[in-house]
Amino acid sequence: DADVTQTPRNRITKTGKRIMLECSQTKGHDRMYWYRQDPGLGLRLIYYSFDVKDINKGEISDGYSVSRQAQAKFSLSLESAIPNQTALYFCATSDPRDRYSPLYNEQFFGPGTRLTVL
């Protein structure tokens, strides 16, 4: 089973609609991230969360909100979707518990959600 799952995998919606993308992980990691990927722009950070009570804005948070319902769940919402939010969205996790562990800096990505806003 996948360690980081995202639902839905594909979504087409209309301008103005509210959309929620969900992410679940079984890795037991405290830190979770939401990125968007656009052609030619790479991966850009939207929000990140250190734990259930710690949520922070990334470089492109405008128009988005998040909810950390549990250690394993991190949801991204578009309150009123607009066409330039059409992109591929990725959730990721990381494990900060051991600074000297090879896993300390590695981010584990979900399979992505392709969102189209018409």
Partner 1 sequence: GENVEQHPSTLSVQEGDSAVIKCTYSDSASNYFPWYKQELGKGPQLIIDIRSNVGEKKDQRIAVTLNKTAKHFSLHITETQPEDSAVYFCAASNPGGYQKVTFGTGTKLQVIP
Binding site for partner 1 (CB under 8 A): 4, 31, 40-45, 48, 56, 59, 90, 92, 94, 96, 99, 104-107, 109-112
We find the least distance from the C-beta atom of residue 35 to partner 1, in angstroms, to be 8
| Nearest residue (CB) to partner 1, 59 versus 62 | 59
| Nearest residue (CB) to partner 1, 8 versus 111 | 111
We find the least distance from the C-beta atom of residue 51 to partner 1, in angstroms, to be 13
* Residue 80 CB contacts under 8 Å (≥ 6 apart), including other chains: 16, 17, 18, 63
Q: What is the CA radius of gyration of the chain?
A: 14
Burial 42-53 (b: 16+ CB within 10 A, else e): eeebbbbbeebe
Alpha-carbon distance of 71 to 9, in angstroms, equals 21
| Nearest residue (CB) to partner 1, 41 versus 80 | 41
We find the least distance from the C-beta atom of residue 90 to partner 1, in angstroms, to be 5
